[in-house]
Structure formats: C-alpha cells, structure tokens
Structure 1
Amino acid sequence: MESSGRGLFASTVPYYARFRPAYDHRLFTLLGTRFALDGTQRVLDLGAGTGALTLPLAALVREVVAVDPEPAMLAEGRRLAAETGVDGIDWRQGDSHTLLDLNVGPVLLAVMGASFHWMDREPLLQDLDTLIEPGGAVVLATCGARHEDLDPPSWLPVVEEIRNRYPGTNRRPDSGPGAYPDVRHENVLLRSPFPRIETLHWDRTVRRTVDEVVGLQLSYSFTSPAALGPHRPAFEHDLRQALTALRPEDGLFEERIRTEAVIARRPEREKPSPP
C-alpha cells in the first residue's frame, strides 16, 4: 500500500488476514526452488499488510523486511507472526517514497502483493535496483484478482446489487486513489532495470460460508466498516439475507481463485565471444 492509501484499510484489518484468500503454496515452492532459498537470504516485502507474503517467506529465508504505511496492518502482522511462531521478520512503517531512508540493506527479492499499483512504479524500480542483489528479482504477486479466462462466481452479482444500495460503496476498485493505472505493470517493468519477465499462475477453488463472504466484503476499502459507517449493520443483514436465498446445496459459495506471480529480473549479461 502507498501513502495515498493510508487510512483506507485501517478498518479492514480485523477482516483482511481472516477472509482474504491466501496465496497458493505453490508460489512459495517455486520461489524457493527458483532462487535456491535456503534460510540465508534476505527479502523485502513492500506493502506487506498483515503478512500474507511475509509469513510464508519467513520460513524460507533468514530475514524478511516487511514494510507498510498502515500501523494497524503491521500490528496485526506482528500478532499473527507471534501466534504462529514465525520469527525472522523486521516490521517497519514506511512506503515506496521512504524506502531508501529505511536502510533496508541488500535483499535478494523484493516482493509486492496488490500494493504495486498504489506506488510510483518507475522511480520505485530504480530504487529497488540499488537494493536487489545480483541474481535477484522483483516479484509481483496477486491472489483473487479478476481474470477474463476465469468465470466470476455466481454469487458476485448478488454482492454487487446489495453493495450498490449503500452510499459510498458503489465505487469500483478500479477508480479512486487506488485505481489500477492505465499502463500495465509488465510495460513498466520492460522499461525498468528488470525487463526480463516471467508470468506464472496457479488456480484453485475456494469455498466460503455466508459469514465468510460477508467478511470478505468488509476486507475491501470500498465496503470497509469505515466506508459503510452507520449503514454497516443493514449492509451485513441485507447481504446475508440475499446470499442465504441463493441456498447452494452444501451451503458453501464457490469461487475459482488464481494466484499469479510476475517475476522480473535484470537482463542477462552477454557471454563473451570465444577468442
């Protein structure tokens, strides 16, 4: 998350780690293999939130520097790390503008979740070029984003219809200060010090209860408790009632979820010609 997004997610903290889908474990297996992570490396998680990437990575490296501008997110990340017995994490408040002032030190990987679109991407990638070690990479990871080749869940129109009844919540996630920029991340990377791009993805099916679908909505900035304000009880009541009316056979609401990783590295050096 960038400094322009500070405060937007503060009220989502109790719901963020609990109801957002976790990154597929195959992402971490791939990173461990691809970069020979053996417990000796350091990694930067920029826009770490509550630690969805931080905590699994901490099991593979010596230290993860987890940076986020929202103190409540960092506090929840610390709590989850302590609760699960994960150590080797240096939690720091900051953002892409203050990154070089944090004295992060050299890292093998700089990972970012959906936070990258909040950032000034071009200057950030130049700054990361001064931090990332030879052979390292920028890793952009997403989980649960919409993709044209994945059918949206059948219950999504119900959520959207209820959401649009309430003032302030009909802002789409592609508008406002956190809107996805017009220039694709890949095109920005191609013009950066990390133009060698590889994209991978893993799909799985997630099943949620009514309460979990409602909790997921409260984890988004545009339907957060702060955005809903005094309308929150009515929103939750109407959404639960509408979802219950769908009555899936097993009482669970399915969604096909994709974890995607864009791995960006520096250009390969040309091998010298034989004499």
Structure 2
Amino acid sequence: MTAARTPHELFISTAPYYARFRPGYDPALYDMLAARFALDGTQRILDLGTGTGVLALPLARLVGHVTAIDPEPGMLDEGRKLAAEQNLTNIDWVEGDSTTVPAMNLDPVLLTVMGAAFHWMDRDQTLRDLDKLINPDGAVVLASGGAPGDVDPAPWLQIIADVRTHYLGPERRAGSGTYTHPKERHQDVLARSPFSNIDTACWDRTVTRTLDEVIGLQFSYSYSSPAQLGDQKDAFERDVRRALTEFSPAGVFDELVRTEAIVATRP
C-alpha cells in the first residue's frame, strides 16, 4: 500500500491528465445558459473550484469576464496554458477556495458556476456567502456527471475498479483518509438556501476512448492519481492495460456520459 498523500499532492499530480483526458460537459449546457441568462459578452461570472477551467474556458467565450478560483496552483497553471492556446484573455486565474471568497472583494457576478468541486465544500456556508456576491437576477449553477447511480456504468469501469482495489484498497482514497460522496443531494442543500428555486437539466452522450485515453483518465482522478499510486504507478498501468486489452482487443471503450446542470435562483 502506498503512503497517504495530502489532497494538495493528489490534485497537483492529476492536473495535466485532468486537462487532457476529462471529457468536459455537453455543449448543450452552454447553449442553455446563454439562452436563459441572455449572455451577450458583457456579464461577469465566478467559476469556483475551476480546476483546469473546464467550465471557465467555454464560458469565457460567452461573457465579458470570468474569475476562475481554485486552491491548487498546478490546476490553475494548466488552465492558463489552455486559455493562452485558445487566445482567451478575459479570465483571471486566482488561487483560493470557497472559504476565501468573502475576503477577496470580488465584483458582483451574474452566475457562480461550480463543477464537481461543490461536494468538497461546506455547501450551506458557501451558498450563504454567494448570496452576497451574486446579482439579484443571478444564479448558482452546479454542473456534474449526475449523482452516483444515475447512469449505469460501462462494464469496463468495473475492470479498472478491480485493479485499483488490488493496489489501493476497496475505498476511494482522499489524502490521509477516504472519500465518501455526500449523502445529501445538492438539490436538498439548495432548497434551504437563498437559492431555493431549482431547475435541473440533463444531457447524455456516448464518449468513445482509446486504451491510452482510458489510462490517462484514471490518472486524472485524485483516488488513482500518480501521487496516490506512488512507485506503483507503472505496475498499476501495466495491469490495467492487460485487463482492458483482454476485455476489448480492439482497444475501443464506449461510455455513456451525463451532464447534469442544476440552476438555482432566488424565489
């Protein structure tokens, strides 16, 4: 078993893989936000827990300015690289997290968007703080792949899980402990917040990956990151490659990927 790693180490080691191998969200998400909030290139948006800018980069094409906040400098560096490659100059990449936002003296925003980072936060306190920042006609937007169990997993995911269990144990590791998805759904937390008017939309699409892309995807997760695996990384990769090649000699792996958007406004 590898030594426990801090969350900081885990996320830094995932950054280049995250930027390259995560599938991103369905383009229909951005079309929906543009239509609903009349995005015309003038608005300000906060992307809280931006990672490498999965939400910030496409939204920057629709609004005037994006403040992209993340606690991990490595993630922000990858986001800056991607923004430069795409000639996007209206994103500020800021080191911080949900607890530091109140002291940042940010300008008011129309939307605060959050991806998978929301489940790591003190959700109730974060929403109270955002109530002071978001315009009266604005919203909190939570983007994710849906709650666990919402979509039937591709069969090859269990093959990878079996190999990961062999190396790291049956629970998803998170720093010195393990990660457990919050039992309370985001919608229930929002329902008691200032943003209690809730709409949810979903889009499903099939993503086809090569063997190399599937391997890279595993290293984008904190629970199977290079830092988490340590000196077992090469052996883990070898065993995953062998098992997946037996499953699909053609090296093609399809997965149904969901984009779920929760849009929460004030009543």
TM superposition score category, shorter chain reference: over 0.9
Q: Give the structure 1 partner of residue 3 of structure 2.
A: none
Question: In terms of Rg, which structure is larger?
Answer: 1
In 2, the alpha carbon distance for the partners of 1:158 and 1:106 equals: 46
Instruction: Give TM-score scaled by structure 2 length.
Output: 0.93
1:117-143 deviation digits (Å, cap 9, x = unpaired): 110111111110110001100000013
66, 82, 85: which is aligned to 2:84?
Answer: 82
Deviation at 1:78, TM superposition (A): 0.3
Residues 125 and 71 of structure 1: CA distance in aligned 2, closer, same or farther (over 3 Å): same
Q: Once structures 1 and 2 are overlaid, which stretch shifts more, 82-91 or 254-263?
A: 82-91
Q: Give the structure 1 partner of residue 172 of structure 2.
A: 172
Deviation at 1:5, TM superposition (A): 4.1
Give the residue type in structure 2 aligned to 1:226: A
1:218 aligns with 2:219: yes
Q: Give the structure 1 partner of residue 266 of structure 2.
A: 266
RMSD over equivalenced CA pairs, Å: 1.8
Q: Which runs of 5+ in 1 are unaligned?
A: 268-275
1:143-191 deviation digits (Å, cap 9, x = unpaired): 376433x32102112101111111x354227994653222221111111
Q: Give the structure 2 partner of residue 122 of structure 1.
A: 124
1:159 aligns with 2:160: yes
Q: Give the structure 1 partner of residue 196 of structure 2.
A: 195
> Contact between 2:10 and 2:226, CA under 8 Å: does it hold in 1?
no
62, 65, 69: which is aligned to 1:63?
Answer: 65
Q: Once structures 1 and 2 are overlaid, which stretch shifts more, 55-64 or 84-93?
A: 84-93
1:230 aligns with 2:253: no
> Contact between 1:7 and 1:70, CA under 8 Å: does it hold in 2?
no
Give the residue type in structure 1 aligned to 2:171: R
Give the residue type in structure 2 aligned to 1:233: D
SS of 2:97's partner is coil
Identity level (%): 57
Q: Give the structure 2 partner of residue 272 of structure 1.
A: none
> Contact between 1:10 and 1:70, CA under 8 Å: does it hold in 2?
yes
Deviation at 1:43, TM superposition (A): 0.2
Q: Which runs of 5+ in 2 are unaligned?
A: 1-5
> Contact between 1:162 and 1:239, CA under 8 Å: does it hold in 2?
yes
In 1, the alpha carbon distance for the partners of 2:95 and 2:80 equals: 12
In 1, the alpha carbon distance for the partners of 2:169 and 2:215 equals: 14
In 2, the alpha carbon distance for the partners of 1:145 and 1:19 equals: 21
Residues 139 and 92 of structure 1: CA distance in aligned 2, closer, same or farther (over 3 Å): same
Instruction: Give TM-score scaled by structure 1 length.
Output: 0.90
> Contact between 1:117 and 1:178, CA under 8 Å: does it hold in 2?
no
In 2, the alpha carbon distance for the partners of 1:144 and 1:225 equals: 26
Q: Give the structure 2 partner of residue 101 of structure 1.
A: 103
Q: Give the structure 1 partner of residue 251 of structure 2.
A: 251
> Contact between 1:137 and 1:194, CA under 8 Å: does it hold in 2?
yes
In 1, the alpha carbon distance for the partners of 2:163 and 2:130 equals: 42
SS of 1:155's partner is helix
Deviation at 1:196, TM superposition (A): 0.2
> Contact between 2:171 and 2:178, CA under 8 Å: does it hold in 1?
no
Give the residue type in structure 2 aligned to 1:206: V
SS of 1:87's partner is coil
